[in-house]
């Protein structure tokens, strides 16, 4: 008995445990003999691994395609090693490293750029003068940043109507449909998301009411909430941050978090996706308010080979996770979302650590896979306690990454459009 990734399933295999999809949907009973149709259904519903009689899932190591030339493999190893501050000798980082190596080698073989780029240069296209920022260095608190942010701009009205839907026990499908339909931009993006490979529904969903009937009122409200917050930050000038790369990383983190959450009954996949989408909002506040200090933190991250959140603490005395969580708290975002964002770099030892731990793993995976740019020069370590809290097996990584690829591209296009803004 053992776990087998969905990509390795074959017709005729026998399921050893009842199979559930996201939100606890029952798919197949124990003892069912798999068919091609069963396997397609599993992939459509985001299943990443299945208990199969007599099968054990091999680790990610050894998954490198044998046809990769030795010279390309050496180049890939050199590139990937630069992303890891310490040699990844233990699970789960060993498996994350193996996947990053496989992906980089495949990109080099296909003639695509597989080298590690400077994160600071890709996030900040232009140098900013420090000036007044140096004079306030060490004097500002997360509250100072958030209070300035709240004074200068406000969320769209639709955000507050969505919050009412989420908070009310009497909300219905018609309430969320009416609320979303008032904002044409939100409506368009939400329907694009629902009709993307993120859900993989067999037929097109034309209306919000239909989407609510399939996904659920609270779940769709959570997605709409995340989209409306994304729209809040659309106006950041390009000289401060490459928004396309920033949101691609955020989307990737959300997609991976959702796929990981599908392995944990009772965890809201939509909430984990939105948590991933919003996990780095604090960075946007720093980029907008103190861009040179944010750059200094990224440069320090590269120089000392430490995660950018640690470098931020050295430069500012706090990190982007604290700023982002405080902003979400002021906006009265539901507490589980705020908690996941606040502790996504340090989930160990806190109450209700499962969702922050899943987000921590997803963030590490997104950085290692080179999905967008996070500003970090190294792949942050998945701590032993965080990994144990998730209760996942390392066999989950490969199918999560492979299933996530198309979803990430589809959702990034749905949120940002072809122009990336």
Separation of alpha carbons 266 and 22, rounded Å:
9
Report whether pLDDT(63) > 60.
no
Q: Characterize 47-56 residue by residue with b for buried, 16 or more Cβ atoms within 10 angstroms of its Cβ, and e for exposed.
A: bbbbbbeebe
Long-range contacts of 198-205 (CB under 8 A, 24+ apart): 198/255, 198/258, 198/407, 198/410, 198/411, 200/43, 200/44, 200/45, 200/46, 201/44, 202/44
Report whether pLDDT(176) > 90.
no
Report whether pLDDT(206) > 50.
yes
**Range ranked top by mean pLDDT from 54-63, 178-187, 283-292, 313-322:** 313-322
pLDDT of residue 229: 84
The residue with greater pLDDT, 290 or 365, is 365
Residues paired with residue 50 on neighbouring β-strands, in sequence order? 4
Report whether pLDDT(162) > 60.
yes
Half-sphere exposure of 178 (CA within 13 A, CB side): 8
pLDDT of residue 322: 96
User: Per-residue confidence at 320, pLDDT binned at 50, 70, 90?
Assistant: very high
User: Per-residue confidence at 57, pLDDT binned at 50, 70, 90?
Assistant: very low
Q: What is the mean pLDDT of residues 285-289?
A: 87
Q: Quick one: what percent of the chain has pLDDT higher than 70?
A: 85
> For 213, phi and psi rounded to 5 degrees?
-60, -35
Residues 6+ apart with CB under 8 A from 237: none
Report whether pLDDT(382) > 90.
yes
Separation of alpha carbons 350 and 170, rounded Å:
32
Q: What pTM was computed for the model?
A: 0.80
Domain ranges of the chain: 2-52, 119-140+241-416, 155-232
pLDDT of residue 138: 61
Same fold, 2-52 and 119-140+241-416: no
Nearest residue to 143 via CA among 357, 317, 380: 317
Residues paired with residue 14 on neighbouring β-strands, in sequence order? 33
Cβ atoms of 33 and 86 within 8 Å: the answer is no
The residue with greater pLDDT, 34 or 256, is 256
Report whether pLDDT(147) > 80.
yes
- Residue 79 neighbours by CB distance under 10 Å: 21
Q: What is the mean pLDDT of residues 129-134?
A: 54
Q: 31 in the Ramachandran plot: left (φ > 0), alpha (ψ -120 to 50) or beta?
A: left
Cβ atoms of 184 and 227 within 8 Å: the answer is no
Which of 5-9, 12-16, 76-80, 294-298 is predicted with the least confidence, judged by mean pLDDT? 5-9
Separation of alpha carbons 89 and 81, rounded Å:
12
pLDDT in tens, 221-242: 889 888 888 878 876 767 667 8
Nearest residue to 262 via CA among 252, 253, 273: 273
pLDDT of residue 114: 52
Q: Could you tell me which CATH number the domain at 119-140+241-416 has?
A: 1.10.3210.10
What does the DSSP 8-state code read for residue 381? Answer: P
Could you say which architecture CATH assigns to the domain 2-52? Alpha-Beta Complex (3.90)
């Amino acid at each position: 008995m053992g776990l087998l990734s969905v990509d390795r399933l074959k017709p005729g295999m026998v399921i050893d445990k009842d199979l559930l999809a996201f939100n606890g949907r029952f798919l197949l009973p124990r003892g069912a003999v798999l068919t091609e149709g069963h396997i397609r259904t599993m992939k459509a519903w985001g299943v990443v691994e299945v208990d199969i009689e007599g099968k054990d899932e091999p680790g990610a190591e050894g998954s490198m395609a044998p046809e990769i030339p030795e010279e390309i493999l050496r180049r890939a190893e050199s590139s990937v090693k630069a992303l890891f501050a310490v040699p990844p000798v233990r699970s789960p980082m060993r498996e994350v490293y193996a996947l990053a190596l496989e992906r980089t080698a495949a990109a080099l073989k296909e003639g695509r750029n597989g080298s590690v780029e400077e994160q600071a240069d890709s996030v900040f296209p232009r140098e900013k003068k420090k000036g007044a920022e140096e004079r306030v260095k060490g004097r500002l608190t997360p509250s100072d940043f958030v209070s300035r942010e709240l004074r200068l701009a406000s969320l769209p009205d639709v955000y507050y109507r969505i919050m009412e839907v989420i908070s009310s026990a009497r909300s219905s499908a018609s309430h969320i449909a009416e609320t979303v339909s008032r904002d044409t931009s939100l409506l368009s993006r939400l329907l694009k998301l629902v009709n993307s490979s993120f859900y993989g529904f067999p037929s097109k969903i034309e209306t919000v009411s239909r989407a609510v009937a399939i996904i659920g009122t609270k779940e769709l409200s959570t997605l709409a909430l995340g989209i409306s917050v994304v729209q809040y930050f659309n106006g950041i000038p390009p000289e401060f941050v490459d928004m396309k790369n920033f949101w691609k990383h955020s989307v990737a983190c959300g997609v991976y978090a959702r796929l990981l959450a599908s392995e944990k009954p009772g965890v809201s996949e939509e909430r984990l996706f939105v948590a991933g989408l919003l996990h780095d909002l604090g960075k946007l506040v720093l980029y907008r308010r103190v861009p040179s200090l944010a750059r200094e933190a990224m440069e320090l991250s590269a120089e000392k080979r430490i995660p950018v959140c640690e470098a931020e603490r050295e430069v500012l005395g706090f990190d982007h996770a604290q700023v982002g969580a405080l902003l979400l708290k002021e906006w009265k975002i539901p507490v589980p979302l705020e908690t996941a964002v606040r502790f996504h770099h340090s989930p160990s030892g806190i109450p209700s650590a499962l969702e922050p731990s899943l987000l921590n793993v997803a963030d590490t995976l997104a950085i290692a896979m080179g999905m967008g740019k996070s500003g970090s020069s190294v792949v942050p370590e998945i701590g032993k306690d965080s990994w144990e809290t998730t209760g996942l097996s390392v066999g989950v990584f490969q199918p999560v990454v492979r299933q996530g690829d198309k979803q990430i591209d589809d959702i990034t296009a749905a949120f940002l459009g072809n122009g990336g803004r």
